[in-house]
């Protein structure tokens, strides 16, 4: 059984009808006398977080594509991601016949995190993942249930951290020895000199970031993708959503319109 780790972002989640199409795609991956694939979904929710913080007039800043998160803000982030966004995805998947269950990195101690420093700067309650304990995911595999994972995580002392969802998806894919890691984005792929690149080598990523070709949220996404490739994930895809057959096309490699990260 192939393991497919799928990461969807907040902007993607908001697209009309996308979650229903995603559900049908996930059902297709599992179709057959024996499931052909075991899909695992990791999600972000940056736009939902921003909307809530704006409504509360809470100011925030960014460092290299990462949101600085203080103690009060991390509680709001957990509420949005693990409560609102997570259950919205689970609910839609189940309306199209996919048995799904929503968890976060806190559940089953899936992700053990510690404070992340970015270029020596303290980002507050923003974490990096030190260890993945995928036992809870394996239980869902045995039961034929699709996990939907919020990236909120904890450290050994019980402190809660906001973890970048791209990083969470990458670390989980590596721990599960996933065949494919698919980042579904609000852009068609990775643009260099204005054009979507079909393939980017991991050795080119840091030079592209240094040159300013890669900026914002694409920076942690590409770094996570490169790390996943180096540590054993077979293929990493960055693509936009283009209908219910998007996953099928990207995984088959035929008609793919996104970017594949390779060695």
Specify the pTM. Answer: 0.90
How far does Cα 106 stand from its chain's mean position?
16
pLDDT at 143 over 90: yes
118 pLDDT tier (thresholds 50, 70, 90): confident
pLDDT of residue 255: 65
Is it the case that residue 32 has pLDDT exceeding 70?
Answer: no
Evaluate if residue 246 carries a pLDDT over 90.
no
Based on its alpha-carbon atoms, the radius of gyration of the chain, rounded to whole angstroms, reads: 17
Domain ranges of the chain: 2-55+81-105+135-151+164-262
Whether 115 and 61 have beta carbons less than 8 Å apart is answered as no
pLDDT tens per residue, range 169-200: 999 999 999 999 999 988 888 999 889 998 89
Q: Are strands 37-43 and 146-150 parallel, antiparallel or unpaired?
A: parallel
Q: Mean pLDDT score of the chain, rounded to an integer?
A: 90
The pLDDT of residue 35: 66
Pick the CATH number of 2-55+81-105+135-151+164-262 from 3.40.1160.10, 3.40.190.10, 3.90.180.10, 3.10.20.30: 3.40.1160.10
* Those residues with Cβ within 8 angstroms of residue 64's Cβ, 6 or more apart along the chain or in another chain: 118, 119, 219, 220
């Amino acid at each position: 059984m192939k393991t497919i780790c799928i990461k969807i972002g907040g902007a993607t989640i908001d697209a009309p009808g996308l979650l229903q199409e995603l559900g049908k795609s996930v059902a297709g991956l599992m179709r057959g006398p024996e499931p052909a694939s075991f899909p695992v979904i990791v999600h972000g929710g940056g736009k939902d977080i921003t909307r809530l913080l704006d409504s509360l007039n809470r100011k925030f800043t960014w460092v290299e594509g990462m949101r600085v998160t203080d103690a009060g803000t991390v509680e709001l982030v957990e509420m949005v991601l693990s409560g609102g966004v997570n259950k919205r995805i689970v609910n839609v998947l189940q309306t199209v016949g996919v048995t799904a269950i929503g968890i976060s990195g806190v559940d089953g101690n899936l992700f053990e995190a510690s404070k992340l420093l970015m270029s020596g700067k303290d980002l507050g309650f923003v974490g990096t993942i030190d260890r993945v304990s995928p036992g809870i995911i394996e239980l869902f595999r045995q039961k034929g249930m699709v996990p939907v994972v919020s990236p909120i995580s904890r450290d050994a002392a019980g402190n809660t951290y906001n973890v970048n969802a791209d990083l969470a998806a990458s670390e989980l894919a590596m721990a599960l020895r996933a065949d494919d890691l698919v980042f579904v984005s609000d852009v068609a792929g990775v643009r260099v000199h204005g054009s979507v690149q079909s393939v980017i080598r991991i050795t080119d990523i840091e030079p592209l970031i240094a040159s300013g070709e890669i900026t914002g949220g694409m920076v942690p996404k590409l770094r996570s993708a490169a790390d996943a490739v180096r540590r054993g994930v077979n293929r990493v895809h960055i693509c936009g959503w283009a209908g219910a057959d998007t996953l099928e096309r990207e995984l088959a490699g035929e008609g793919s319109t996104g970017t594949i990260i390779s060695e």
